[in-house]
Amino acid sequence: MKIKYIKCKKFGGVSNKIIKFEDGLNVIVGANEAGKSTVIDAMFAALFRSHNLKRNTNIGRDFYEKYLPYPDGDSAVVETCFNINNLDFEISKEWGIAPSGSVRFDGKMLKDEGTMTQKLQEALGYGENTFKNIVFARQKDIREALEKISKDEETSAVIDNILKRAVMVLDGISVEKLKKLIDQKLLVYSAKWDLANNRPEGNKGINNPWKRGIGSVLAAYYQKEQLKQDMESAQKVETEFSLLSEKLKAVRARKQQIKEQGSKYAQFEGDIIQRSILESQLLNLQKKAAVLREVYKQFPIMQMELSNKGNELQKLETKAQQLEDELKSADLIQKAQQTKQLLAKVDSISQAIAGKIAEQNKLVEIKDEEIRRLDKLHESMLSAKAKMEAGTLLGRLNKSQGYLVFVTRGLHEREELTEGANLTASGYLRVEIEDGFDLEVRAGEVAFAELKRQYKEAEEELTGILSRLNVPDLAQAKVNHRLYKQLQSDINSLQKQIETLLGDKTVEQLKASIQLEKNLSARDVKEINQDKQKINSELTNLKAEVISLAKTFKEWTDKYENPDKVIDLLTTTLISIKETEAKLQNLAALPQEFRTTEEFLSHLKQLRAAYEQAAKEDIQLTQDYYAIKLPDVSFEELAPLYKEAELNFEKQLAHLHCLLQIKQTLNRKLKELDQGSNEPLVELFSKYLSILTLGKYSVGKLRGNLEVGIIKEDNIALPSTLFSAGTYDCVLLALRFALLEYLFKDKQGFVVLDDCLVNLDPDRKVRAVELIKEYARNNQVIFTTCDPATADLLSGNVIHI
């Protein structure tokens, strides 16, 4: 089991705190009242404390008083995650005004408290009290915890199952005597030797050796390692002495070489420095003379050029103004052309409007209400006709015997019917025989006279309207109606286009503006702009030249006044040049290997610095040379002694392994008989106690109620009331590690330790730290302390809080 992290969102005096733990040793270090114990309490609460904890219970009152945020917090919230068998369990709990809890694992989530508790119990393997009394117990509470262990049924049952061990009694052989003999022999060989890692216990090598109680294996090991160290030390000193001698020789040779080269150049230093000064002065005089010659030469030329440039500038400015005027004229002409194009477009649209009007004039305007009236009349006729045709009569004139027979059918006019003719009548039929017979037949439900009147009236009005509109039928009336409206829409659209083109101008105003520009003439605007751009560029360049010339001419005038004064200054400068050159002739020449005086002086400075550095190295190496003390025994003399010590160590180790095989065989036989015994726990307890007290104490007997019997190295039993504080802490820590080893046997263990090293002396503290680190190799340890020195001693994953 291992804890991966704890999140105290709100718990006691700790809020918004996340602590991540690693495998092995984790050390939480912080000042008093920093919240170390609160973090551990939060971890225990997340694992075991019900989120529905009642306030009216002793546990509830104590819990809420301690862990609700002070002074007016109403809830405590904690999250933690632990891993068992590579499976993460994430626990979230909130106590207070809105309690809640959940456990997430393997993609599942539980919120029911009973199910949560059962699942956690299965995962952890032991109950709350076992963890509280063994895993989470504080050092100051260990004494009370031991009493609780003996009284608590849950924890006692766990430990009782742990203590079931086997004892074998061999026939005719005293098992205890045999074991004692083997253990005595093993102790002679293996004392202070770590059999599992094949090294000294606590990894205390030759640089930090055990002083007392060491076995023959460790003694042989220390002898071998000491000789090895002596060999390495001798070889190192001898090599260092040889290298130092070579270095000293090289430094002295380099120092002499630098001295000789420096002396060679030092004799020229004064002349070379003076030469540097004079050469600098000569260079400045030569530059000054060159400037004065150029000024004298350019003085009248510049004066004339300045006048010419001024005249040229005036001409260019005049030309630029002319181009600007031409550009304005061209712009007016361009606008006139655009106006002409606009008027042409307006004229084109006006002609289109006239064409539409002419086309519209060919049609009679048909209003919407007239179309609606025609539709209504047409529908009335169709309705009357349909009603009369609903009662259809069929007949045939089979024989007339020479009489004239006339029929009137539906809405048709009177007509003659010949013999053998078929007839069809819709709703109404009248048959008349010449001179004496008149027969009317009607469909019973049709008011034929009314329908016929309705039909005739509608037909007459329809015909009258179509005639007035000059169209043959209703369909053509609708076509003409739509065409007339479309023409009117087109006319309106074209008129709006003219209004948009003209804006707030009239055609007459635009025509008048064209007349005003007729007398103007100019080149193309693009051509004018090109000329203007060219002139402006020339103007800019010329102005810059004039300004520059004027500035330089003013500077010369202010400085030299006139050419005559320039000649005077040039004469004085040339005299100074000759005098300086004469002085240089009397100075030592610069050595050929240097190009400049600066290079010579820089090299001489570097030589002096190098000489000083070599002198310092000479002094330091000389001191080191005489400080080295060669070993009394050389490397060559130590080598055969080391080989002999190696063979002795291997021999002692072989004896130890033989004894271990004998002991393993005996133990294998003893395991065949199983009976209740707490001897293994006593042995483990005794082992840890011996380690922690440097072999001073061991365990005599552990009674059924876990009462401890401690024996001093002189086999005298010592009651716990006589223990010192340090010894008592060692006893409690040893017992706790013994219980933990059995509690988490064959799986990763976990323990929380508060600072259990406070009362231990330095030697016991070192052993306790080694024991804790050893346990943390395969288990997780969370150690809390307020002492940074203890945290440094433990190392591991140090967490500051």
The confidence band for 788, taking pLDDT boundaries of 50, 70 and 90, is: very high
Which residue in this structure is represented by tokens 């043959």? 472
Residue 452 is part of which domain span? 368-468
301 or 259, higher pLDDT = 259
Alpha carbon distance 768, 726 (integer Å):
11
Q: Are 132 and 748 in contact (CB under 8 A)?
A: no
Q: Where does a domain end: 446, 468, 490?
A: 468
Compute φ and ψ for 126, nearest 5 degrees.
Answer: -130, 160
Instruction: Give pLDDT, residue 95.
Output: 93
pLDDT at residue 88 tops 90: yes
Q: What's the whole-number average pLDDT of the chain?
A: 81
108 or 362, higher pLDDT = 108
Percentage of residues in the chain with pLDDT exceeding 90? 17
Alpha carbon distance 410, 423 (integer Å):
11
Full DSSP string of 355-408:
HHHHHHHTS----HHHHHHHHHHHHHHHHHHHHHHTSEEEEE----TT--EEEE
Closest to 191 (Cα-Cα) out of 659, 716, 739, 596: 659
691 or 719, higher pLDDT = 691
192 in any annotated domain: no
Q: Are 690 and 727 in contact (CB under 8 A)?
A: no
Closest to 218 (Cα-Cα) out of 196, 197, 191: 191
Report angle CA 776, 779, 783 to the nearest 5 degrees. Answer: 55
**Tokens at residue 322, please?**
């002319």
Radius of gyration for the alpha carbons in the chain, expressed in angstroms and rounded: 63
Compute φ and ψ for 125, nearest 5 degrees.
Answer: 90, -25
Alpha carbon distance 559, 297 (integer Å):
16
SS3 170: coil
DSSP state of 633: S
481 in any annotated domain: no
pLDDT at residue 162 tops 60: no
- Residues 198-246 pLDDT 10s: 899 899 998 999 988 898 988 999 898 988 888 888 888 878 878 888 8
Domain of 112, CATH number, reads 3.40.50.300
438 in any annotated domain: yes
The confidence band for 126, taking pLDDT boundaries of 50, 70 and 90, is: confident
Exposure on the CB side of residue 628, measured as CA atoms within 13 A: 18
594 burial (CB, 10 Å; 0-12 / 13-18 / 19+) is middle
Residue 89 CB neighbour total at 10 angstroms: 20
75 in any annotated domain: yes
Instruction: Give pLDDT, residue 166.
Output: 27
37 in any annotated domain: yes
Alpha carbon distance 577, 571 (integer Å):
10
The confidence band for 165, taking pLDDT boundaries of 50, 70 and 90, is: very low
- Residues 268-280 pLDDT 10s: 778 778 878 888 8
pLDDT at residue 704 tops 90: no
Segment 435-450 mean pLDDT: 68
Q: Are 711 and 695 in contact (CB under 8 A)?
A: no
CB-based burial, 424-453: b 16+ in 10 Å, e otherwise: ebbbbbbbbeeeeeeeeebbeebebeebbe
Instruction: Give pLDDT, residue 419.
Output: 77
Instruction: Give pLDDT, residue 161.
Output: 46
Segment 687-702 mean pLDDT: 71
Percentage of residues in the chain with pLDDT exceeding 70? 85
78 in any annotated domain: yes
Residue 717 CB neighbour total at 10 angstroms: 10
The confidence band for 392, taking pLDDT boundaries of 50, 70 and 90, is: low
Closest to 536 (Cα-Cα) out of 441, 269, 544: 544
In this structure, of 649-663, 704-718, 730-744, 768-782, the range with the lowest mean pLDDT score is 704-718
The confidence band for 701, taking pLDDT boundaries of 50, 70 and 90, is: low
Q: Are 371 and 478 in contact (CB under 8 A)?
A: yes
SS3 89: strand
- Which uninterrupted H or E stretch holds 110? strand 108-110
Alpha carbon distance 178, 176 (integer Å):
5
Cite the beta strand spans of 155-308 per DSSP E: 164-166, 193-194, 199-200
Residue 253 CB neighbour total at 10 angstroms: 11
In this structure, of 250-259, 392-401, 542-551, 696-705, the range with the lowest mean pLDDT score is 696-705
- Dihedral angle sign, alpha carbons of residues 570, 575, 581, 587: negative
Number of domains present in the structure of the chain: 2
Q: Where does a domain end: 468, 502, 537?
A: 468
In angstroms, how far is CA 1 from the centroid of its own chain? Answer: 33
Alpha carbon distance 72, 66 (integer Å):
12
Alpha carbon distance 240, 342 (integer Å):
107
Tell how strand 25-29 and strand 780-785 pair up: parallel
Report angle CA 361, 364, 366 to the nearest 5 degrees. Answer: 130
Q: Are 249 and 257 in contact (CB under 8 A)?
A: no
CA distances from 527 to 322, 613, 777 (A): 14, 80, 94
Q: Are 10 and 77 in contact (CB under 8 A)?
A: yes
Alpha carbon distance 210, 196 (integer Å):
18
Query: End-to-end alpha-carbon separation of the chain, Å?
Result: 24
Alpha carbon distance 241, 628 (integer Å):
7
Report the DSSP beta bridge partners of residue 366.
none
pLDDT at residue 322 tops 50: yes
- Residues 551-597 pLDDT 10s: 877 777 777 778 787 788 888 888 888 888 888 888 888 788 888 87
Alpha carbon distance 424, 393 (integer Å):
6
- pTM score of the predicted model: 0.39
Alpha carbon distance 238, 639 (integer Å):
14
Q: Are 61 and 53 in contact (CB under 8 A)?
A: no
DSSP tally for the chain: helices H, then strands E: 21, 23
In this structure, of 371-385, 622-636, 671-685, 728-742, the range with the lowest mean pLDDT score is 671-685
DSSP state of 610: H
Closest to 51 (Cα-Cα) out of 90, 94, 1: 94
Closest to 44 (Cα-Cα) out of 6, 74, 12: 6
Instruction: Give pLDDT, residue 265.
Output: 79
SS3 698: strand
SS3 346: helix
Segment 375-382 mean pLDDT: 84
CA distances from 15 to 18, 71, 256, 760 (A): 9, 13, 73, 34
Sequence letter at residue 128 = E
pLDDT at residue 678 tops 70: no
pLDDT at residue 83 tops 50: yes
387 in any annotated domain: yes
Segment 32-41 mean pLDDT: 92
385 in any annotated domain: yes
The confidence band for 150, taking pLDDT boundaries of 50, 70 and 90, is: very low
Residue positions counted in the chain: 801
Instruction: Give pLDDT, residue 781.
Output: 96
